[in-house]
Chains A and B, each alone.
Chain A
Amino acid sequence: MREMINGIIGGFKILISLDKEVYEIIFLSLYVSLTSTLLATLVSVPLGIFIGTKKFIFKNAVVRFIYTMMSLPPVIVGLIVFLFISRKGPFGQLGLVFTPTAMIIAQFILVSPIIVGTLYTASKEKGADIKRVAKTLGANKTQTLILLIKELRFSICTGIISGFGRAISEVGAVMIVGGNIKGHTRVMTTTIAMLRNMGDYENAIAIGIVLLILSFVINSFLYHFQ
Chain B
Amino acid sequence: MLKFKNLRSSLLLICLLIVTVISGCSTKMNPTTTTIHNETNVTEKQSSIILSTTTSTENSGLLDFLLPVFSEDTGIEVKVVAVGTGQALKMGEDGEADLLLVHSKTSEEKFVEEGHGIERFDVMYNDFVLVGPKADPLNITKEAPSDILNAFSIIQEKQGIFISRGDDSGTHKVELKLWSDMNIEPTGNWYVSAGQGMGAVLQMADELMGYTLTDRATYLSMKNTLELDIIVEGDKKLFNQYGIIAVNPEKNDKIDLEAAEKFIDWILSQKGQSLIESFGKDIFGQSLFIPNAK
Contacts and interface: CB of A to CB of B under 8 A. Distances in A.
Contact of B168 (A86, A97, A183, A198): A198
Interface stretch (A9-17, A38-46, A126-134, A173-181): A173-181
A98 B207 CA distance: 9
B90 A199 contact: yes
In this complex, the interface size class of chain A, counting residues with CB under 8 Å from chain B, is 20 to 34
Interface of B: 83-84, 86-91, 166-169, 192-197, 200, 204, 206-209
B200 A197 contact: no
Interface string A172-206: 00010001111110100011001011111100000
A87 B207 contact: yes
A184 B192 contact: yes
Contacts of B204: 98, 179
A188 to B, nearest CB: 13
A87 B195 CA distance: 21
Given A87-B206, A87-B207, A199-B91, A179 B86 contact: no
Contacts of B208: 97-98
A87 B210 CA distance: 13
A181 B207 CA distance: 13
Contacts of A197: 83-84, 86-87, 167, 195, 197
Nearest to B168: A198
A61 B78 CA distance: 46
Contact of B83 (A86, A183, A199): A199
A183 B192 CA distance: 9
A179 B192 CA distance: 10
Given A97-B207, A199-B84, A199-B86, 7 more contacts: A179-B194, A180-B195, A181-B194, A182-B194, A186-B195, A191-B195, A197-B197
Contacts of A201: 90
